[in-house]
Structure 1
């Protein structure tokens, strides 16, 4: 079954170096591999959802450089509709990623063309209005996130926000969010509490539903009706955790848009993330629907 999701957010080219140990300040280390892979939290979520079987439209911006054309091409090749991806003068966004042998990563994002996504362009609201869910992140200007969330609310579309990179959020944004999907660190910043259960209760005062991802410990869901669900992760040997959170969010929203209940949707998101961390890269690590189904069948 296909779904209809719109992702409003960032499109980057990921520049990924693989090293035994990440360098400390002032230190130079030798890497063993280097890859360029289209990414950005917005494009990553769009690709994850499309590979999981969703009908996805991407709204964002790329530069008029070679990287912009490459980003468009990989989105199209994965059956993501790029009608809403506009080209602006200058450089495309980039993410400079260092991945160590334990699968951990550190990332520097240079927004580039993503800085132009500071509001709705012509046609954006129509694309949002025609969807079941709208996925948002924070790698574009807050004014763009706020405008898209408001458009989602006006048109009765489920608005899902991954608050990353971590930042304080205004009520102008959160008042239009239906489902918030932070990781532990982001939840602690937003709630002012590093205990996930207490953070969940605090965040539910601001949004109707919350999913907190807990890394190797799984995920925690709650809503204002008092429902609380904890879903454990699937233990695997991580090679590269880049974009695991974006994979989780894209597949979670795909499952929800297909009518899955929250527990099943969380299992699908967790399974997709578990498959992705066993591979290198961001968009290149994301599983297909068949791979997710096969993984769950073996558990």
Structure 2
């Protein structure tokens, strides 16, 4: 497991699963000759994507950023359609760190699409139960509302089995919430109406988890939005805002979906000055 130290925050990437999605969908209207220079693609026009939660350890507490693909929750058809090669192995990842799900103090959900939220619950008999009983689950109020009342488009990604058993644990916020003095979640919209990012600032040390408005290192260009984005123009404007903010601070940008990089640090002009790769890859 890869680990990154940013100020007093320690980030460790857990095993949340891997799937393959159509590269055209992941890069929207961007022509393949452009995006394929930035991110590898296979002969089926698919790109490899992780769904790896980030364990954030700060001031003696364990926070989890998103929860992975889950395990044993997808049908054969869903596994095929979503190109799932590997499901989550969250508990064994925590065991390697001498932790269990009972050691998680809080869960920060960037949004509640199935590939981020399936790890919140598991099947027990004929029911779905919380994987993290009594642990606060923080998400934006807009996202939580849509999770429970999806529209004709979002019903395919907001699933009752991922929210019905954790309702009492959910804590919502409007525009911004401070988790600690240095750590906050900020509602951006864009990818989903309730999408949020995570920002950490400790003196000169900073990381920004852009979640799905910059899903991979190949999405650095502020104009490149996914076809999966419900509000792509919002994604573009929010990415522009937070890339400018992070560039000025030489922030680390962390990734949940990237199969090649866990995090990249950029200078004031957006040039990479440091990197953390997935150990299995040299790219």
TM-score, normalised relative to structure 1: 0.34
Higher helix proportion, which one?
Answer: 1
TM-score, normalised relative to structure 2: 0.35
